[in-house]
Amino acid sequence: MDLKVIIDEQIYTLNVPEEIIQEAVEVFDKLDQEMDAGWQMGRDWVADPTQEDRIKIVGDKLLSALEREDHDLGRVMAAYILNRAPDIEHLLLDTSGELRNSEVHYG
């Protein structure tokens, strides 16, 4: 499956093998458990992140992985997004460090 990500007006299409999207559920569940305890989203502490908040949080991890050229971590983060939001059209990632400014667009 493909995930379209927009970073600083650049459009990236990340191809994620279906096997990773289906088989990394344990990793995805672990990520969700970490976020269940709350998450710092920019300047705000979010005690109970919504599904969209979680996509933005993982999107930020994806952005960091892409910046470090950590393709394995990036693929897993993209797989989480596709697994948890299969109807996503694209993800616009904020690069200023303010997670809440990222945008999730559904098809």
Q: What integer pLDDT is reported at residue 21 of this predicted model?
A: 93
Q: Could you tell me the residue ranges of all domains in the chain?
A: 2-106
Instruction: Say how far apart CA 106 and CA 64 lie, in whole Å.
Output: 23
Q: What integer pLDDT is reported at residue 61 of this predicted model?
A: 96
Q: What integer pLDDT is reported at residue 107 of this predicted model?
A: 87
Give the rounded percent of residues in the chain with a pLDDT score beyond 70: 100
Q: Which residues of 38-62 are buried (b: 16+ CB within 10 A; e: fewer)?
A: ebebbeeebeebeeebbbbbbbbbb
Q: Half-sphere exposure (CA, 13 Å, Cβ side) for 50?
A: 4
Q: What integer pLDDT is reported at residue 97 of this predicted model?
A: 85
Q: Half-sphere exposure (CA, 13 Å, Cβ side) for 1?
A: 21
**Is 90 exceeded by the pLDDT of residue 87?**
yes
Q: What is the chain's mean pLDDT, rounded?
A: 95
Q: What integer pLDDT is reported at residue 11 of this predicted model?
A: 96
pLDDT digits 0-9 by tens, 29-61: 999 999 999 999 988 999 999 999 999 999 999
The type of residue at 57 is: I
